[in-house]
Each structure stands twice: as C-alpha cells, then as structure tokens.
A and B are shown apart, each in its own frame.
Chain A
C-alpha cells in the first residue's frame, strides 16, 4: 500500500517567510517539472480544441452549422462525437507519458533512493 493516513501536528511546523524557503531537492523538482510541463502542454492543447468550438460556432457559424454527414453538422460532430473521444485521448496520453516517466525514474535510481509514503 502506498501510504496511510496519520494524525497531524498542528503546531510543530510553523511558518517562514517565502524568501527563506529553500529550493526543492533536485529529484522532487525534476519530477514536479516533468509532470507539470506534460500536464500543462496537454491542457493547453485540450483547451485550444475546447474553446475553438464556441469561437467557431459564434464567429464562423455558416461553416460550423453546415452539413457534413447526413444531417450532422461540423459543430454537432465536434461537440458530441470528437469531443468525447478527445477527453479520453488526452487522459490516455497523460497516463501513458506518466508511466513512461515512472519507468525512467526507476531505471535511473536504485531502490534505496525510492521514497515510501509513511
């Protein structure tokens, strides 16, 4: 099991000024950077697709509401067919890239360096 909950100490940690904060250790920084960078790129790509639909609907309505297959318009196809697939494709790409990174981390560091959650 990856981790288990334990009670918190509300007073021990205290606070410091943000300027006194030490940099994160290189490994955590690398993991965070890798995860955030991948997530952000996928999110930007996803939101460009998401927001393109209403933008095109309102500003290129003639094209978006013209028929492409039977009575299905481009807009209907993008919104109710492609968008559903896109939600899964983005999440699948993220999970695949995460697992690839995980394998790389394991290859590059021995078991003694692996942190376990307490």
Chain B
C-alpha cells in the first residue's frame, strides 16, 4: 500500500488511466481509413504533437541527456544530428506524401510502379526498420520498470507489449495519435519543470559549463560505489572537447549523414503525414514537430550538463550518487530530476519515460500492422477484402506484432540501445530515403531501380553494422551512413538508368503528388 502512494507509482498509474480512457473514447474504427490513418482528420497541432511524440522516443528522452552527461560535447553532437532530419522531411517529402494520400509506406511504391514486388520489398524494409527500432524501446521500457519498480526484465517486456496490444489494437490510429500528442506534452512538461528547477537553483548554462571545464581530478564521494573503491577521475577539458565518441573527422561526418537522412525513411514518421486533412496541414504539422523537437533537444543537452555538474559537485544524496554511477546513462534524467525536485519530479520523469516508450512503440506498431494487414494480407491473400475485415486484419496484426516484438525484446537483453537505434536510422537512410526523394522528384526512377535500392541499402547497412570488424579499419564506422546512403542512392540511379522502363503513367503520378491545393483542401 505504501508503494502505491509513492509519487512515481501514482503518476504512472495516472498516465495508464489516461491512456485507457483515451483509447476507450477512440475505439470506434468503422473504416480502414479510421483505423490506419485516423480518418485523415487531425489538424496540424494534434498531428504535430503526435509526430513529436513519435520521434522523441525513450532513447531521446533519457538517452540524449545521458550521452551529453557521459560524452560531453560529442553527446550534444548526437542531439544536433537528430535535430536535422525532420526539417529535410518537411522540405522534400511531407507535402507530396500527403497529396498521395494512402494508408501505408509500401502503398507509395506499389502505386508509383503498379508493382506487387515493390510492395513486398517495402514491407520487408518496414518490418526490418520497425523491428530494429522497437527492440531498443522495449529494452528501455523493461530497464525503467526494473530500475524503479523492481520487476524482472522479462516481465517488463511482456507488460509493455500487452499495453501496446491494448492501446493500438483498440484505439487504432485515432487513439494512438491522441495518446501520442498527450504523452509528448507530459515529457515536455517534465523537462520544463526540470529546466525551471535547475535555473532556480542557480545552475546557469554558461557557469556550470565553465565549472565543468575547469574540473580536473577525482570526484569526491564516488569511491563508495565503485568496484575498485577509488574516486572516479574526470577531466573537464576533455569532456567539453570533441573526440570522446568520434575518433575521426570522417566518423563524425558519417554519423551526421546517417542520422540526418535517417528520419526521412522512418516508416512510423512517414505514416503520420497521411493523417492530415491536407498537404498544407502536413507541412504545418512538420513545422510544429520541428519546433517541439528543437526545444526538446536543447533542454535535453542542458539537462545532461546539469546532471554532470551536480555529479561533480558531490553535493548530492548518496542514493542519487549511487544511481548515477551504477545505473549508467539512462539514469541521468531521473537522478537529476530527483536531485532538483525530489520524489514528485522523479515521478513525473518516470511517467514521462513510459510516455516516451508507449508513444514511439505505438507508432511502430501502427506502421508495421499496416504493412502486415494492408500490404501483405489484403494484397496477396484476400483481394476482395471488406472495410470491416481490413480493420480486423489490422487488429490481428497488432497481436502478432506484440508477440514478435516481445520475442525480439527478450533477445536483445543487454544490447546497446544507441547501437540498435543507429541501426534503424542507418537502414532507413539507406533504403526509404533514396526511394522517397527520387520517387517524388525524378520521373526516370524504375521499379527495378527502386527494388535494387531497397535491397542493396538494407544489406549494405546491416553488413556494415553487424560485421563491422570484417571491414578494413577505415570503413569501420559507428554509423556507416557515409557509405551506405550513397550506395542506396546510386543503386536506384544506376539500375533505373540501365532498366529505362518507367511506368507509363508516371506523369499522372507526378501531377497527383505535386498538384496545387485550394486553401480549403
């Protein structure tokens, strides 16, 4: 009973209750359009918040501040790379994608080339990216549950997948969008309170950076929690410089390319642009999401610096000190929240972390369920499917995905969250990014070119990440975007040039995705 009254438990239960209520209110999905794209009824504010909710995952909410805390400038550079992608998406893809107006990412290729093979290739890539992205989110959720509520890793995975099956399966895109929008503001609210508390406590950005930069020596009070019983050494001038994570200039450039272009190819983000009523609203949604993401990344980096400053001061509760040393990077935001605002702020951050996991996972579930139910089942196995059957197929797909992702989550126990997220971004940047940019802007792209781009991009990025050590040293990139993105683009271009067989109605397609709209549209 006492545990139930703890702020972290109360606020988490409140979040769950709100999710259940919103899901219940949105449960009526009469048509496939309702279920997969929320009836295309969401205005720019709701959809912009939902895109932000989708994009700013647990890895971002907890990870960016954690990376800044650990790596200093190189951690902040991570946030910088993540902040670029949505802008490029807004420029080249958002409007045309909405004018195209389908249900799934694979629909784009299927319609552009009138090709089932292209649809199948796209489904494989959607499932690969979503799987690589879902695994670290589940891993994060299980770790949060384990750290704050003492549950086992396996329980964490099963619990999170069960919540997702309920949340997305019943609410569809409508419930998911509303929940994502709400969850985003919970996270942003938690960050705002933390930033306010830090500034109120006199932890001004330029002053704490100066103090960290001048720190050289051992951190007082850490010896009680280290394995060797010695205080942890720290050199602030190294922390504020570069080279902590990126060993070379080309490593930095490769990550910049991979992460900045990866966003354009993330299926759950692309899908969000189908839910707007018009292309104009799609662009405004993207603009709003970019504004939110920029503020969010700025706060996250600052809070990472605040965490480091608090840690170096040694003037913290021994429990917080222990969490920061033993809990690793993911504990930086919760520990800093506890140090700044006590149990209630910690509770809000924990609820925010769950909101981040649910928000991002629900987007992945919706994108993948469309790939399974709409692209695979309705296209290849049941051609004359009714609207009602399409919705049921979507719900069955959610259950199947819940089980599959659950197994995947259990398999990645102990893996690096950052590594898996980087993999998802690299695959997306090397597959869907070339396909969408060239597919929207170049009439000469052919079906074979598109499939070649998807397959080559997928294989190249997976090989360069999983079998990195088999490559020459100069090709061993942490994020191999510098190599795999050009491979993806060149494969599409070269095969299309050799093939030369473009769809006969490509001009009609271009008219459709680039048509002007009336203000009312």
Does A associate with B in a complex? yes
Asked if B213 is at the interface of the complex by the 8 Å CB criterion, the answer is yes
A108 to B224, CA, bound (A): 75
Best-buried of B33, B295, B301, B514 by chain A (most CB within 10 Å) = B514
Per-residue CB contact flags for chain B residues 235-269 toward chain A (1 = under 8 Å, else 0) read 00000111000000100110010001000000000
* CB-CB contacts below 8 Å: B209-224 with A: 209-214
B114 and A106 contact, CB distance less than 8 A: no
Indicate which residue in A4, A8, A55 contacts B110 across the interface (CB closer than 8 Å): A8
Task: List residues of chain B with CB within 8 A of the CB of A85.
Answer: 294
Please state if A98 and B507 are interface contacts (CB–CB under 8 Å).
no
13 of the cross-chain contacts (CB-CB < 8 Å) are A2-B278, A4-B33, A8-B110, A10-B116, A15-B501, A18-B446, A46-B87, A71-B210, A76-B209, A87-B86, A90-B87, A95-B287, A114-B516
If the complex has contacts A73-B240, A117-B515, are A87 and B290 also in contact, measured as CB distance less than 8 A?
Answer: yes
| Surface stretch bound by A, among B94-102, B312-320, B401-409, B456-464 | B94-102
A77 CB to closest chain B CB (Å) equals 9
Q: What 1/0 flags go to A78-110 for Cβ under 8 Å of B?
A: 011101110110111011001100100110010
Residues of B within 8 A of A (CB): 33, 40, 73, 76-77, 79-80, 83-84, 86-88, 90-92, 95, 98-103, 107, 110-111, 114-116, 204-214, 240-242, 249, 252-253, 256, 260, 277-280, 283-284, 286-287, 290-291, 293-295, 297-298, 301-302, 441, 443-444, 446-447, 500-507, 510-512, 514-519, 521
| Interchain pairs with CB closer than 8 A, number | 221
B444: chain A residues at CB < 8 Å are 18, 21
Please tell me if the beta carbons of A80 and B76 are within 8 angstroms of each other in the complex.
Answer: yes
Closest CB in chain A relative to B457 CB, distance in Å: 20
List chain B residues, Cβ under 8 A from A76. 73, 76, 209, 240
Give Cα A21–Cα B277 distance, bound, in whole angstroms. Answer: 32
Pick the residue among B40, B207, B514 that contacts A35 (CB under 8 A).
B514
Nearest residue in B to A70 (C-beta to C-beta)?
B206
Pick the contact of B514 from A16, A31, A50, A58 — CB < 8 Å? A31
A8:B111 contact, CB within 8 angstroms: yes
Complex contacts, B99 vs chain A, CB 8 Å: 2-3, 117
